[in-house]
Amino acid sequence: MAILEVIISHQSEVLLSRRYYNSSIINDDKYKEGLIHGIEILAENLEDDIQKFTLGTYTIVLLTQNIPFTEKSEKKSYIHIYCIVNKNTDIDWLRKAMKNTLSSFTSRFTSYDIINHNRSKFTIFNERVDKILGDLIYKKEDRFRNVFI
């Protein structure tokens, strides 16, 4: 198992994206944002908590969380994390890591920064994402190679 890419988004706009391996589904950023927008709209209209779906040889795993507001009067808003993995990946460990990543992200950044899509601030979170996901970002052969290097 390896995470090919992890994406954190709000209102269909990519806030943070980490690509670990190339794949044909994720090379075009406009396509990626369109796909994310479609997923979010579908989940809203179906009033369903979509957790994963498969496109070709890839699975996209999704986790959604409310953005914590300081004011009770603020309208609910959601932040999403997506992981693109190979189709036959067991996602139990992945979902735990995704939840931890999203919680760390919303703890690290203010709801103001998230809602205003202040992407320049989010790049400092790249190393933290890598650390949280740990070995999940490596393919088996790369994980094995890292043991001996």
Q: 34-61 pLDDT, tens per residue?
A: 777 787 777 666 655 667 888 788 888 8
What is the extent of the structural domain holding 53? 3-148
Neighbours of 114 (CB within 10 A): 21
Query: Residue 112 carries which side chain, given as an amino acid letter?
Result: Y
What's the CATH code of the domain at 118?
3.30.450.50
Query: What is the residue-averaged pLDDT of the chain?
Result: 81
Provide the whole-model pTM. Answer: 0.83
Asked if the model's pLDDT at residue 27 lies above 70, the reply is: no
pLDDT tens digits along 97-121: 999 999 999 999 988 899 899 888 9
Give the sheet arrangement for strand 13-19, strand by strand. Answer: 13-19, 3-10, 78-86, 58-66, 52-55
Domain count, the chain: 1
